[in-house]
Structure 1
Amino acid sequence: MQGLKSLILQQQEIQSIISGIEENLDEQLIAGLSGSARAVFIAATAEKTGKSIVVVTHNLLQAQKLHEDLLQFMDEEQLFLYPANELIAAELSIASPELRAQRIETLNYMASGRRGVFVVPMAGLRKILPPPAKWKEYQLHIEVGKDLDLEKDLLTFVQMGYSRAEMVSAPGEFSLRGGILDIYPLTEVDPIRIELFDTEVDSIRTFSLDDQRSKDKREKIVIGPATEAPIDSNQFNQITQQLEAGLSRSLKKLNNEQAKERMAENVGFDLEKFRNGQKPEQFFKYLSYAYESPASLLDYISTNGLLIFDELSRINEMNERLEKEEAEWYTSLLERGEIIHGLAVSNQLGNLLSKHELPRVYLSLFLRHIANTSPQNIANVPCKLMQNFHGQMHLLKAEIDRWRKNQFSVVFLAPDGQRAKKMQSVLMDYEIEAAIVEGSENPIAGIQIYQGALNTGFELPLSKMVVITEEEIFNKKTRKSKRRQKLSNAERIKSYSELQVGDYVVHVNHGIGKYLGIETLVINGVHKDYLHLKYQASDKLYVPVEQIDLVQKYVGSEGKEPKVYKLGGSDWKRVKKKVESSVKDIADDLIKLYAEREAAKGYPYSPDSDMQREFEASFPYQETEDQLRSIVEIKHDMERERPMDRLLCGDVGYGKTEVAIRAAFKAIMDGKQVAILVPTTILAQQHFETIKERYQDFPINIGLLSRFRTKKQQTETAKGLKNGTVDIVVGTHRLLSKDIQFAELGLLIVDEEQRFGVTHKEKIKQLKTNVDVLTLTATPIPRTLHMSMLGVRDLSVIETPPENRFPVQTYVMEYNGALVKEAIERELARDGQIYFLYNRVEDIERKAEEISMLVPDARVAYAHGQMTESELESVILSFLDGEFDVLVTTTIIETGVDIPNVNTLIVHDADRMGLSQLYQLRGRVGRSNRVAYAYFTYRKDKVLTEIAEKRLQAIKEFTELGSGFKIAMRDLSIRGAGNLLGAQQHGFIDSVGFDLYSQMLKEAIDERKGEIHQKRTPSFEVELELDAYIPDAYISDGHQKIEMYKRFRNIDSLDELEELREEMIDRFGDYPYQVGYLFTVAEIKVFARAASLESIKQSKSEIAIYMSEEGTQEMDGSKVFSICSRHGRMVGLGMDGSKLKITIQISRMNTDEWLEIAQAIMKDLGNAKKQP
């Protein structure tokens, strides 16, 4: 869309502003430009003047919209958004890293002096930052072939805000293993691996977080800070001195002894941390003490830069509001003794503008005087925002005729090539000829279609230019181009089975015990690693690492302490037997159901029609890979003769509904009816609206059956279903009533089946016979369970969130009224709504009143589970329709309702909730394409129980995409398993642990299916006096060690062995001889399997290799004899009963020599079997 820039530059008024910039005029005003036309002007100015530009907006939402528009006209490498936090209290909390990463990336780029355009909300200018010179000190340039001073650099990483970990698993971490340094800068997509040869950098590679393997090579890398306030020991001293002085001044001002004590204690606690070289949690309050002259973002722009203010009067209003909020917050901290007097916690806008004499351009919608400005040049550019045609093409045609007459360039925007063609054909139907044009070409008089997307269209009469977006013609949302996402989604943290010391574990034969770590024991002079487990009465069990697959981490419901068993007792056998019989019953039911379904005859649907393809192309968003895969799986099922019974599982908002709608469309195209059954009236209403909108351009008749419909409407729908005029119906359990009959039901879609009662479930079962069934659920079904049910239950899983979904910004903080007021007002300012989660029904009404008093402008309602169904529905429906701004609610919002306009969640007493609950609640916001906020609060000064403390810690971690996320997934997984297999299974899962349960279920199903796997060749026994283990000096981290031992155990081929060898060198560097012996043993086992060997044993003077009975019978004696004789007299051949035995005399050989001979013999034996 570059052509639009050149058109706007031809306008005289715009040219006069550009000239003013080139002449360095201090202040200019440009009035009239509105909507996305401003982005065209800014991009054109940047290109024409070659200056760096900081564009200031009044809030973050406006900054995001402008940034999105600018992306259409600029190279994204030179365009940055600085998403500052507008809530002062949020700065004090633990916050998720995505926005911080964007801010750091912006500062890195600005500090490098390169040219760019930087979009900043007003709050971003107020942030105190390190001076640019200081920031540059923290840009570490690392290059292949250059030296690293490791000791110094590791300290620098810590100063830069990185934390040391055993293994890098999240942004902002680094780890050092031998000569390998891994680090994950916030501004990189993948973490970085630096391999050293002594102190020289040998190689730099990116690597994958999923499997820790290297990906691409780099010649050099610049590592920037992981925090906006990197700080060294000198600065710690500086802060300490200033804070000591400030505290003593403040204490003198106080007359009240209690207030003095409070301040001395609270601030003294922070002071002590600084003295010890640590940052207190609310470190940012003291930033102004850290630097001689604290800086702002404007210090980072070159002297040749330009400032553009997008509506200065609104920016000033916002500034006043932020100053007022900050003053109230400061006062409340002073009253609590948590801050000292006279501390500057942010930059003042007035001071900043007087200090920086950069030329300024003010953008204003109206031509009017703006306080405290004196522009030397004023330009008025007439500009109209584009009207919305709502699909009324005759209105559009009339406008186009007017523009044509006046020789205007009319530019339609379509987000991609396919949609451009569709738009062209729709316009053609109304005799409007439009050419599809490359975006770089200048628009010409006439009508053309460009590929692109803007927030609004506009008309510039003087430039004779009109831009119309797809949304303005058809009233349809447009797919936004994909944002660059530096931090990948937290979903990759799937493994909740990492063993930590102190975890409960399940030993298949001995039951549940506690894991105390890996220990290297020396037995008969040989080193070996063992898992150390503790059982009841302090019994110890040492499990050799080769038996690692008998031990699993115990995974049960959150907050459940499992029973620890006694070694050698009979309890465990009894419990296992109970679970076994229950699992066998489930397997029987599943197999029976599956067999019945295989035998049933259903309707095979035809392959996709052209209309199906057209319908799918009209979806306004980008499908995720998981969505596309699920659609293919479902259609494949529908096209088969047997009836479909598929479970589609995916988090709320991950696009299950669209998948279901496409399946429904396919059924309707074949003349079948579709029924969508949902558990609540509100969900029915929502699905109905969504379907109506998606099917609006197609001849499909949609019905709704729920309490929200009048008797007459319901009767009409029922009649339509019976005579076949209604194609698709959405309904609650009203659909299951006796009077509802279908003419030709082909597909039943059930949403959240586990939420229906027993009687309803029975009726659903009756409906299911011989029709295709698709069941939707938002509870995740764990991978292990999914795998164990392959072949008896068809599952499709959507695990990736949609593109352009901003991660929810999560904060964990103490509750305070000022914060709640600020957060609610902030959301109201962007016309959003708020969930306030309060889980106590008895005084929820009082809480709602309290919030009304706190924010008088907000319309507050409350909802809880003890209301009647109709009361609850009417409150939630009113909230959905925007009649209320704040809904104070119990956890009933945890499932179901989708309200994209709710983008702030405040949770009261978060420490009393389960993690999985918090995870699901957090999924209630952030459903649209704007940033959402979740505030998990806990009560000030409340003494937390140990469990609550742990939970809050975990919430903080899951905020930073860490392990809390895994715990939430774990708990939800168990819930998912219960939903899938029946609630009574919950107890069984808890009694043996999730993994063992899944394993037992898989075995039971396989057995019922007649797939009794031949017992894997009895494992080959190795009794060699070799130090085959992983020394701590090579891998010190317990769970990485376990992971590697498991990998050794599972090696089945030489290719896998080589792959593991490469991976270990890649991740941990060159391995010591002890690990070399592990590879040798693994290789021996591969050879042994091919030759049907049973064991290899070492005695004082010989090595004996034993062959199994079957192997002995399969061998060609002459070949075996020839193999042995190659090695002369030291190798003997004989029989041990009915088994072949080969001996090697080793008294005169060193270990490596006899190992080589043993390997050679075993390898050759694989080729010595008789020919069939």
Structure 2
Amino acid sequence: MSPPDLSKAWLRRALTQPDFSKHLAPLANGDRPTVLDHADEASHSFFAALAATAATDLGRKRHWLVCDSPRQRERLATELEIWGITALVLPDSPVNPDSEIHEIHDPETAAEWFSILEILAASDAFTLLCGPDSFSQYAPSAKSLLSNRTHLTPGQKLDPANFAATLTAHGYERVPTVTARGHFAIRGGILDLFPFQSPRPLRMEFFDTELESIREFDINTQSSTRKLLAADLLLAEPPAIATIADYRRENDILISINPRHENLFPDADIIITENASATEGEEDFTLAAYPSPLGTFDAGDFVLDELRRETFFRQLNEWQREGWDIGIVFATKGERDRFAELSGKDLERDLGLSPVFGDLVSSFTIPTTKLAVLSSSELFGRYRTLGTVRRSTIEKARAMRARASLDDIEPGDLVVHYEYGIGKFRGIVLDDDGEELQIEYKDGTILSVPLEQAHLIGKYVGIGGRTPDLNKLGNATWKTNRKSAEKSILDYAAQLLRIQAEREHESGHAHPQDSRWMFEFEQSFHYTETPDQRRAIDETKLDLEAPRPMDRLICGDVGFGKTEVAIRAAFKAITGGKQVALLCPTTVLAEQHWRTFRERFSDYPIRVDLLNRFRSPSEVRATIAGLNDGSVDMVIGTHRLISGDVTYKDLGLAIVDEEQRFGVAHKEKFKHLFRQIDVLTLSATPIPRTLYMALMGARDMSTIDTPPPNRIPVATTVTAYDERVIRDAIRREMKRGGQVFFLHNRVKTIAQVHKKLQELVPEARILIGHGQMEKDDLELVMHTFVKGEADVLLATTIIETGIDIPNANTILIDRADRFGLADLYQLRGRVGRAGEKAYAILLLPRDMMTVGDARKRIHAIKQYTALGSGFKIAMRDLEIRGAGNLLGTRQSGHIAQIGFDLYCQLLRQSVDRLKGKQNPSQQDTTFKADFIISTETLWTATEKSKPRLPAFLPTSFLVDAKLRISAYRELAEANTEKSLDLLEKSWIDRHGRLPHPVVNLLLIARIKAIAAANAVTSVELSEQRLMLQRNAQYILLEGKRFPRLTKTKPAEKLTEALDLLQKF
């Protein structure tokens, strides 16, 4: 019997048991609520599935499951899947007309909320998990929700202009490029649209007034991903004139799980509770469910403690003799295989165990039905919140928003022109020759740059926020700075390559290829790796298997999965017979890593020890002795690991977490100690992709840009400082068993704030932490908070980096107006790490929020709304900081002088040059033809009787000037025929059919790319001659003549020139 069939069979067996069938009989007529009491929390998903199955058998297929905490709802949703039930989880409502707080709602959460409302309105069968307060949430009426839908299918008649007007009338915003919900864009025959309730944006292609196709597209690449046969749109967000309670129908089943009071829902059909029923008389334990008598295991106990293992198997034999059904829930196939290996027996034949796959937090037994369901997580000592495992129905929409584009230039921004330096962008103007970009230099001088040369200009991005001086046109300062930077960058690239070459020739240890244990270990990972994470793991493992010492850097944002890369590397090294050391900058981080690594290695005989100041002297001595004799496989700690008294029997891998936070002396010591062994460095600050691409050939590094799929965006609130808001936020978090960060960045007044918080929430345990405390005292505070022994940490920005407390899911930031967006982004990243709903509350001075000071209020709201719309600016700022950390002070100075974009370009060229790579660019080749008209203005004025050919991007093709700038840059960067093929395909996908001027422009780009690949620096078509130059010399055929063109029509001449070049 397959695992899903097994779990359903257990449900059926329980339903046919007389005691259960008697208790559930009232469901048929709804006479009175059925109470299933003495049900241990571990069994709640089983009893909920039992009740839902019984109701479905009676034709009642709409089930509302009500439970108190979001954590409980997420856990139940995950565990119900074991019993074959896919449950919806209703998120908090994005609609609250009574609120005075400006809340920035995650668009994906709002979309999920609306899609669930549609199911509640239209479906005859569902299982929904919600909170007790959900029924009073404001919502659109079911009727208005369904009447606002529009059904689209390819082939239908639909006027795009009329449809665009309808979208505008329903609150959609027309933009050049769709980047968020509620946006639409029109380009030629393409209409892009991101519906309010859809997980992905749609691309509709028209031929006149016929809808030809509907495709989904990727918000980051703007490329189509798949075709759709139809699409349903919620045209508008209907007004909230009803509540969730109005969606309930008469025959719906309401199941209340572990309510605080049994009379909380007097109309509940079923109540599932851990407590005794409130009915009079003797307590009835007939249907009771109990925790497993086997108890819980600490990480590693099941593997290392033989006595406990014997007790476990003895209990299994006893149950088997008494005819019990024994199921064991494994998270993965790898976990099941490892358990079978440890037991040395066949699970079903010898042990009577039925393996089922899923996620179950705790084991339980139900004596009445002789059923024991065991949890592998409990068995192997993995204690996690299952909310972190459940996947949102629309999580794929939460891919990282596009980084700030260097084409996203606004008037007033600083820009860098390759030849003339730093200036101020003034805008795009139209003159007699066509569109031009205007840049203002020192003394008010204006430089006009044709739009088709936009690739020579980039947005200026420096380091540290200092505004540079504008350059002076005609002055030598810019060229001197650029030459100085070019030389320094070349030296820097040479240094990187020299270090890399030295390591290539050093002999290191080649770790063995992946073993069966490695395969099982990877299979036991509870999540699906992101593509970036998988790539980083594979690159690291290849380095470990190479006979040279590894030196790989893993860069990625907080919580993007760098630790898992380190875990895989450590496991590979240890199972290959080597020891591993993990260095952390703080004792708190070391302890967190120690817990994580122990739990991940708990299925295997691997000893992981911790060295920090919180260990007793005897524990420290035992660890040092174990490292020396080899009985300790891995040690985690601070710089204590590199003290003189710590020696290793056979150290094979050193992992350094957040290297930038160690001092220079420690870094030098690392280099000396780890010279002959493999080193993996983790950096919590992301770096820009452009820098990654530039360094790729000179430094072994991997970047993880994609967030894990279970990251639920943080609900961000902007509000005036209000003690009620603060009190309610702290109590809300404490009520669900969580912890709170309160950020107040002035040490001078932090004690006063502590006193005020204690008055507001007297029951809260509040700690203070700031950078002016003694180091030992601060670490003790952090240690206490990490262990969950306090409710609130009142701190300065010391919490900004290097701390991971999954149980802290609310952060209040006092005087948020004093922080930049990047700082707020990192601070907000402290919460929402465990897949739970998290809250960030930005407290602003009241005078910024009052109606009487509307301008300030609007400015504040606009500024912080950026936090809810992709963090482009914040991410850009953070990445540049990461670049500064990685490159060092001197190179950061050059970035400040010439701008980040040009720095990366020069660095990449230097690396390629030193490695002997020739990367010819079509920009190295000039093109001229006496029949080509390269601007729209000149083409309009051209006498059409003459044989002329247009080659430009028409405004009718790309209406928005920024899109044309971006397209010209894309064209300039496409240096090969292959890249031009991809660009042409992308343009057709994003903009529709290409008009003739664009086709001709691409043809010229192909001619230039082929010429550049053949070292031809100049191509000129004059009358019937094809004039080519290489090294300032014309290329002539026999008889010292130019190649001749036989065609007379302009378009045919271009094609013939291309054919001739391809024969070179």
The TM-score range, normalised by the shorter chain, is 0.7 to 0.9
Q: 1:632: how far off? A: 2.3
Q: For residues 1143 and 791 of structure 1, what CA distance do their matches in structure 2 show?
A: 43
Given the alignment, which residue of 2, 10, 13 partners 1:7? 13
Q: 1:869: how far off? A: 0.4
Q: For residues 468 and 20 of structure 1, what CA distance do their matches in structure 2 show?
A: 31
Structural mapping, 1:448-847, within 5 Å: 448-477=354-383, 480=389, 482-502=391-411, 503-523=413-433, 528-557=434-463, 559-847=465-753
Q: For residues 594 and 978 of structure 1, what CA distance do their matches in structure 2 show?
A: 21
**1:1046 aligned to 2:969?**
yes
Aligned length: 1016
Query: Could you say which residue in structure 2 is the equivalent of 1:971?
Result: 877
CA separation of 1:1014 and 1:119: change in aligned 2, threshold 3 A: closer
The letter for the 1-side match of 2:324 is: F
Q: 1:541: how far off? A: 1.8
Given the alignment, which residue of 967, 990, 997 partners 2:903? 997
Q: For residues 843 and 531 of structure 2, what CA distance do their matches in structure 1 show?
A: 36
Deviation readout 1:802-855 (Å, 9 max, x if unpaired): 343333333333332111111111111111111111111111111122111111
Given the alignment, which residue of 181, 185, 196 partners 1:175? 185
Query: Could you say which residue in structure 2 is the equivalent of 1:43?
Result: 52
477-486 vs 832-841, greater mean Cα deviation? 477-486
The letter for the 2-side match of 1:134 is: S
Q: For residues 692 and 975 of structure 2, what CA distance do their matches in structure 1 show?
A: 24
Q: For residues 946 and 598 of structure 1, what CA distance do their matches in structure 2 show?
A: 61
Structure 1 spans left out of the alignment, 5+ residues: 232-286, 288-293, 318-348, 372-377, 437-445, 1119-1133, 1146-1152
Q: For residues 72 and 971 of structure 2, what CA distance do their matches in structure 1 show?
A: 55
Verify the 8 A CA contact 1:906 1:936 in the aligned structure 2.
yes
CA separation of 1:699 and 1:1071: change in aligned 2, threshold 3 A: closer
Q: For residues 686 and 763 of structure 1, what CA distance do their matches in structure 2 show?
A: 24
CA separation of 1:1071 and 1:1162: change in aligned 2, threshold 3 A: closer
* SS of aligned partner of 1:974: helix
CA separation of 1:1063 and 1:598: change in aligned 2, threshold 3 A: closer
Q: 1:423: how far off? A: 3.1
Q: 1:1011: how far off? A: 4.4
Query: Could you say which residue in structure 2 is the equivalent of 1:131?
Result: 141
Given the alignment, which residue of 841, 844, 851 partners 1:935? 841
Query: Could you say which residue in structure 1 is the equivalent of 2:252?
Result: 305
**1:1025 aligned to 2:941?**
no
- TM-score by structure 2 length? 0.88
CA separation of 1:66 and 1:604: change in aligned 2, threshold 3 A: closer
CA separation of 1:204 and 1:1005: change in aligned 2, threshold 3 A: closer
CA separation of 1:187 and 1:362: change in aligned 2, threshold 3 A: same
CA separation of 1:566 and 1:1011: change in aligned 2, threshold 3 A: same
CA separation of 1:898 and 1:393: change in aligned 2, threshold 3 A: same
Verify the 8 A CA contact 2:1018 2:1030 in the aligned structure 1.
no
Q: For residues 578 and 1053 of structure 2, what CA distance do their matches in structure 1 show?
A: 69
Deviation readout 1:59-107 (Å, 9 max, x if unpaired): 333322222223333464x745344479985974122223222211111
CA separation of 1:314 and 1:426: change in aligned 2, threshold 3 A: farther
The letter for the 2-side match of 1:1004 is: S
Q: For residues 1059 and 913 of structure 2, what CA distance do their matches in structure 1 show?
A: 37
Verify the 8 A CA contact 2:49 2:85 in the aligned structure 1.
no
Deviation readout 1:148-183 (Å, 9 max, x if unpaired): 365665465456554332211123322233443221
CA separation of 1:764 and 1:1032: change in aligned 2, threshold 3 A: same
Structural mapping, 1:263-278, within 5 Å: none
Query: Could you say which residue in structure 1 is the equivalent of 2:296?
Result: 389
- TM-score by structure 1 length? 0.80
Q: For residues 1160 and 750 of structure 1, what CA distance do their matches in structure 2 show?
A: 57
Query: Could you say which residue in structure 2 is the equivalent of 1:1149?
Result: none
Query: Could you say which residue in structure 1 is the equivalent of 2:959?
Result: 1036
Verify the 8 A CA contact 2:101 2:719 in the aligned structure 1.
no
Q: 1:888: how far off? A: 0.5
Verify the 8 A CA contact 1:25 1:359 in the aligned structure 2.
no
Given the alignment, which residue of 998, 1004, 1020 partners 1:1081? 1004
Given the alignment, which residue of 192, 202, 220 partners 1:192? 202
771-780 vs 724-733, greater mean Cα deviation? 724-733
CA separation of 1:577 and 1:80: change in aligned 2, threshold 3 A: same
Deviation readout 1:362-420 (Å, 9 max, x if unpaired): 3344453499xxxxxx9973322445332433443444344334322222111233323
Structural mapping, 1:1126-1165, within 5 Å: 1135=1041, 1140=1042, 1142=1044, 1154-1165=1049-1060
Q: 1:449: how far off? A: 1.6
**1:916 aligned to 2:925?**
no
* SS of aligned partner of 2:397: coil
Verify the 8 A CA contact 1:1104 1:1144 in the aligned structure 2.
no
The letter for the 1-side match of 2:867 is: F
Given the alignment, which residue of 403, 407, 411 partners 2:319? 403
Query: Could you say which residue in structure 2 is the equivalent of 1:258?
Result: none
Q: For residues 684 and 888 of structure 1, what CA distance do their matches in structure 2 show?
A: 22
The letter for the 2-side match of 1:489 is: R
Q: For residues 236 and 95 of structure 2, what CA distance do their matches in structure 1 show?
A: 21
Q: 1:145: how far off? A: 3.0
* SS of aligned partner of 1:491: coil
Query: Could you say which residue in structure 2 is the equivalent of 1:865?
Result: 771
The letter for the 2-side match of 1:219 is: L
The letter for the 1-side match of 2:48 is: A
CA separation of 1:1072 and 1:158: change in aligned 2, threshold 3 A: same
Verify the 8 A CA contact 2:36 2:272 in the aligned structure 1.
yes
Given the alignment, which residue of 100, 104, 107 partners 2:114? 104
Verify the 8 A CA contact 2:160 2:206 in the aligned structure 1.
no
The letter for the 2-side match of 1:602 is: G
Q: For residues 644 and 338 of structure 2, what CA distance do their matches in structure 1 show?
A: 45
Q: 1:862: how far off? A: 0.7
812-821 vs 836-845, greater mean Cα deviation? 812-821
Query: Could you say which residue in structure 1 is the equivalent of 2:305?
Result: none
Q: For residues 313 and 453 of structure 2, what CA distance do their matches in structure 1 show?
A: 76
The letter for the 1-side match of 2:684 is: A
Structural mapping, 1:104-503, within 5 Å: 104-148=114-158, 153-154=163-164, 157=167, 162-224=172-234, 227=237, 230-231=238-239, 294-314=241-261, 360-369=269-278, 381-386=287-292, 388-390=295-297, 391=302, 392-428=308-344, 433=348, 447-477=353-383, 480=389, 482-502=391-411, 503=413
Q: For residues 447 and 1094 of structure 1, what CA distance do their matches in structure 2 show?
A: 75
Verify the 8 A CA contact 2:391 2:709 in the aligned structure 1.
yes
* Percent of matched pairs sharing the same residue: 36
Q: For the pair shown, which has the larger CA radius of gyration, 1 or 2?
A: 1
Verify the 8 A CA contact 2:720 2:848 in the aligned structure 1.
no
* SS of aligned partner of 1:467: strand
Deviation readout 1:433-492 (Å, 9 max, x if unpaired): 5589xxxxxxxxx53122222344432333332222212333324784644334523424
The letter for the 2-side match of 1:1045 is: Y
Query: Could you say which residue in structure 2 is the equivalent of 1:71?
Result: 81
* SS of aligned partner of 2:369: coil
Deviation readout 1:329-371 (Å, 9 max, x if unpaired): xxxxxxxxxxxxxxxxxxxx9xxx9xxxx88333344453499
Verify the 8 A CA contact 2:334 2:524 in the aligned structure 1.
no
CA separation of 1:462 and 1:665: change in aligned 2, threshold 3 A: closer
Q: For residues 251 and 101 of structure 2, what CA distance do their matches in structure 1 show?
A: 32
Query: Could you say which residue in structure 1 is the equivalent of 2:947?
Result: none
CA separation of 1:1142 and 1:425: change in aligned 2, threshold 3 A: closer
CA separation of 1:311 and 1:297: change in aligned 2, threshold 3 A: same
* SS of aligned partner of 1:693: helix
Query: Could you say which residue in structure 1 is the equivalent of 2:26?
Result: 20
Query: Could you say which residue in structure 1 is the equivalent of 2:789?
Result: 883
Verify the 8 A CA contact 2:46 2:83 in the aligned structure 1.
no
